[in-house]
Structure 1
Amino acid sequence: MTVVTHPPLSFRQALLAMLGISLVLMLSALDQTVIGNALPSIVAELKGFELYAWVATGYMLASIVTIPIFGRLGDYYGRKPFVMAATLIFTLASLACAVATDMVWLVLGRVLQGVGGGMLIGTAFACIPELFPDTRQRLRWQMLLSALFSVVNAIGPGLGGYLTGAYGWRSVFYINLPLGCLALFFAWRYLPYYRPLQQAKISLDWPGALLIALALGSLQLFVEWLGHSSLMLSAALGVGCVAATLALWRWERRCQHALLPAALLRLPSMRLLFVLSMAAGAIMFSLLFYLPLLLQGSYGYSPQDAGLLITPLALSITLGAIVNSRIVTRLRNPNLLPLGGFVALLLACLGLAIAGRSASFNALLGLILLAGLGLGFILLNLTVFTQTLAERQFLGIATALTQSLRLVGGLLGTASMGALVNLLYSANLQRLFIAQGQADGLALYADPQVLLRPAAALLEQPQWLNLARDALAQAVGVGLLLCAALGVLALFFLYRLPPVRLNVSPATVAPEKQ
């Protein structure tokens, strides 16, 4: 397959084209995280705490499947039509979420949002190599775009908290309507359409996509329902996940147009980068979706105050991305930057876990700033490293897989955290109430969503409320300790990654031994 040659873009053309890409990616990045601080209010109104994690994981699961599919379709048919279709789908799905009357409706709307978001990520990020064939120029724009994506990811929780407190949780979805229309206009007007010259008829890997959905979906249900469903059902889900994974591995090895190309996955450095993307996604999304629960349910902060605490993630991610982009190409070993990022991230998770409910507002702020700084040095570099090491023919799918696997990590992280919090909260609640001789209050606080209501402090006796808040803080704290342990594991994988040379183009990098 060859691509139609095109003259280099002028600065104005490049700027407007990148503005169109940035706007559509902003929609996807924002909705991955803006829902986090609104979730406690949503659950309090629509009920259904058992579907708390599904509002996040439903979006991620749909995105994970659609990212590589449309990354591959864009390679064959050009990316602009899919960017525009994805923006339209995402905007309409946001409207469906905004008018939801129960949690099932909301989860289905989020799944549809995930389809649009996955299409956006799978196509928009891969537009960069087409717009900027020169390696150095592409690297500068890619850094800018990745930094923007990370910053908008981090702004989401604070914005969600503000909108929820000021206008109600539905405004979190309504805001996508004008943004979606603006993004659609800029993509239509200024994003160039480069249609590849197709040498062979494409055969899209639909069986691979179905097996990915089955493997991840059954794994998600297995994690969330473990201990809450019959042993037979749990065993069936576990067996289904293993069977789908093995079938996927066998199918992808012999599929001509595999969603997971074997030649790409055989490279040791690529495998390490993909694992690191999963680890980063698991930690980041666990923080973004469960820090609001900790701050509002355990500390008793309002959505606005919780938003004030989480918004600084954006500032520290921006700072980390700016510093990173200035020095990454000057270092002999750029791997030191994500290494420092994971150290900062695991220390922040450790501090938040150990603090319990005793941390002051300023202490929480400092730990959250540290976590954001760590993410600023991780997310950008993983994307840039992947695009530097990938062969030209795999550039689009490698970029899509990096983003997709970050969401896989996020899906598994949030699903595991949800199961853990539900299980440990019940155990901690019973232990603390019985130890204090307050067994009469157990039934009142059996459902943690009671802690998210504005009138929670007025319920019965104050000591019951404090015991329930302690139970929730301890449950989330264990999850944060596991995030810190995952950070330690990521450091081990980074140590095994050879130094990535960013000052050369992929064509000049020596072939890696497989």
Structure 2
Amino acid sequence: MNAPSNPDDSHIHHGRVLSVSHSILAMLGLCFVVMLVAIDQTVVGTAMPTIVAELNGFELYAWVASAYFLTSIITVPIFGRLGDFYGRRYFVIISIVLFTVSSVACGLAQSMLQLVFARALQGVAGGMLVGTAFACIPDLFPSTQVRLRWQVMLSSAFGIANAIGPSLGGVLTEQYGWRSIFYVNVPIGLLSLYFVWRYLPLIRHHQAERIRLDWQGALLLVLGLACVQLLVELVPVHGANIWMLLLGLVGGVAFALLMWWEQRCVEPLLPPAMFRNPAQVALFIMATGLGFVMFSILFYAPLALQGGLQMRPQEAGLLVTPMVVSITVGSILNSRIVTRLSRPSRMLMVGLLLLLLTCAGLVLLDSHTPTWLFVCYTAVGGVGIGFIMPNLTIFSQEIAQRSMVGIATATLQSARMVGGMLGATIVGTLITYHYGNLVVALHTSVDASASTMLTDPQLLMSPERQALFLEHVPTIGQTVLSSAREALLQAVNFGMGLVLLVILCGFFMLRKVATIQFLKRR
């Protein structure tokens, strides 16, 4: 194989030089992997009402998503570390096969419980993919400057998948049934499997003769994260009762034992040295905050549009789409700018400022806000995320030792998932609580049955429920509904206020990463 003329665009793996074309085809396989995960996450939400209508079991509605996130969050750091030991190629291949098979299992589910279990299996595969695929990039491109240019391919694939996911889910569900949204993963999985199997090289950084796996640490991490996930899901439903307190205690003990054990383990799953670097810890915290902000906006901006401003789901989806498209735009701009800066962390500051502007606009959102201004808010926020998200990964990989790149990347991805999980749940709880308080004054105007319906924000997004409500309150029903919509908008404004505070906390973390430079690897 002939070496390309530009030495920065080629490098040696196991004694042979990978050409530009070989690297492109390997990256193409990783792009299909990213699209596999991203499309799956976005199409499911669109189809969920149809799925529940056919399979029943509304009480398991949230667990279709939660089962996936729980197993993903747990497996990302585990397989990120295993990839450092054994090389990532085989784990990427296994995860593609498992993800494709579990997608078929989701499509064949005959009950909500079966679907939840299939989604949990799919989450294991998704965690393996995220934990290993993203860490393949520094393996293929050791030079930071070259890596940033190539990472645009992954960012573009992620942005395209997110942009088409909701619309694709709606079209497939309407034309071919909800099961087709899972079957669409099969051709994407086969494409990614071909390119990864053919072109992704096997690279191992850990050369120990005998590898000792930290299964004790893995089990403690599983237990701790499972307790966090269950607390986030169950506390809003059951309150802070004795069982929730016990669950929190078990989780706290698991994390305490994990910290104690990792200090004494020969080959720890989460190397303590990685957490002794204040800049690395700051990046993990910022990743958690970014997940909190991003998922809060993506989950609850559509709620304000549909419930507060009476838009149809398709209209709301189109107005939020500029945000996910702008993430790709921001990532491309970032790759062109960040390596030219003497202080690359300035891109994080610009990204935070753009997100701050977006959240300030959402806090002030009301029924008189022009549509074009809302689109500007979401587009600006997307560019801000594009300035932050790839840099967190690049900076973390730059700080980490070569043998810890996989676990550092995986920990960063897990932190963002945990932040998204917390943001979606905490902000949702605040919105529901604040909405309930605001509509209390409306209860005196309606009878008991209508009052019960009014406390559920779903009323404002369901024409069938609204028609039933107007049967109970025929004279002042429309006036009451208008007041409820204003209450929902104010509740979303209140929830976005918390998101604003999280962004402000991000500025304090910037001080820890201000000195990061792009260094050449030895």
**What is the TM-score when the length of structure 2 is the normalising length?**
0.87
Match of 2:300 among 290, 293, 318: 290
Range 454-463 or range 404-413, more displaced: 454-463
Q: Secondary structure at the match of 2:30?
A: helix
Displacement, 1:58? 2.6
Q: 1:237 aligned to 2:247?
A: yes
Give the match for residue 380 of structure 1: 390
Residues 266 and 9 from structure 1, CA distance in 2 versus in 1: closer, same or farther, beyond 3 angstroms?
same
Contact 1:341 1:376 survives alignment (8 Å): yes
Contact 2:428 2:495 survives alignment (8 Å): no
Contact 1:337 1:378 survives alignment (8 Å): yes
Counterpart Cα distance in 1 of 2:184 and 2:316: 20
Match of 2:516 among 492, 500, 503: 500
Aligned length: 503
Q: 1:347 aligned to 2:373?
A: no
State the one-letter code of the partner of 1:400: A
Counterpart Cα distance in 2 of 1:421 and 1:355: 14
Counterpart Cα distance in 2 of 1:454 and 1:214: 43
Give the match for residue 481 of structure 1: 497
Displacement, 1:152? 3.4
CA-to-aligned-CA distance 1:44-73 (integer Å, 9 cap, x gap): 665666555443333222112111211222
Residues 477 and 135 from structure 1, CA distance in 2 versus in 1: closer, same or farther, beyond 3 angstroms?
closer
Give the match for residue 30 of structure 1: 39
CA-to-aligned-CA distance 1:83-114 (integer Å, 9 cap, x gap): 11111111122223334455443333322221
Displacement, 1:493? 0.9
Structure-to-structure mapping, 1:160-239, within 5 angstroms? 160-161=169-170, 163-164=172-173, 169-194=178-203, 198-226=207-235, 228-229=237-238, 231-239=241-249
**What is the TM-score when the length of structure 1 is the normalising length?**
0.88
Q: 1:367 aligned to 2:382?
A: no
Residues 49 and 330 from structure 1, CA distance in 2 versus in 1: closer, same or farther, beyond 3 angstroms?
farther
Counterpart Cα distance in 1 of 2:509 and 2:135: 26
Q: Secondary structure at the match of 2:14?
A: coil
State the Cα RMSD in Å: 2.8
Larger radius of gyration: 2
State the one-letter code of the partner of 2:421: L
CA-to-aligned-CA distance 1:313-340 (integer Å, 9 cap, x gap): 2331122112111111111121111211
Q: Secondary structure at the match of 1:8?
A: strand
Residues 484 and 50 from structure 1, CA distance in 2 versus in 1: closer, same or farther, beyond 3 angstroms?
farther
Which structure would you say has the larger RCO, counting Cα contacts within 8 Å and 6 or more residues apart? 1
Contact 1:274 1:402 survives alignment (8 Å): yes
Q: Structure 1 unaligned segments of length 5 or more: list them.
A: 508-514
Contact 2:81 2:404 survives alignment (8 Å): no
Q: Secondary structure at the match of 2:495?
A: helix
Displacement, 1:372? 0.9
Range 337-346 or range 100-109, more displaced: 100-109
State the one-letter code of the partner of 1:9: L
Match of 2:451 among 442, 451, 454: 442
Counterpart Cα distance in 2 of 1:171 and 1:59: 19
State the one-letter code of the partner of 1:386: S
Displacement, 1:401? 1.3
Give the match for residue 348 of structure 2: 338
Displacement, 1:396? 1.6
Counterpart Cα distance in 2 of 1:164 and 1:306: 18
Q: 1:67 aligned to 2:67?
A: no
Counterpart Cα distance in 2 of 1:292 and 1:165: 20
Q: 1:490 aligned to 2:506?
A: yes
Give the match for residue 473 of structure 2: none
Residues 226 and 71 from structure 1, CA distance in 2 versus in 1: closer, same or farther, beyond 3 angstroms?
closer
Counterpart Cα distance in 2 of 1:489 and 1:154: 29
Give the match for residue 128 of structure 1: 137
Give the match for residue 403 of structure 1: 413
Counterpart Cα distance in 1 of 2:53 and 2:363: 25
State the one-letter code of the partner of 1:383: T
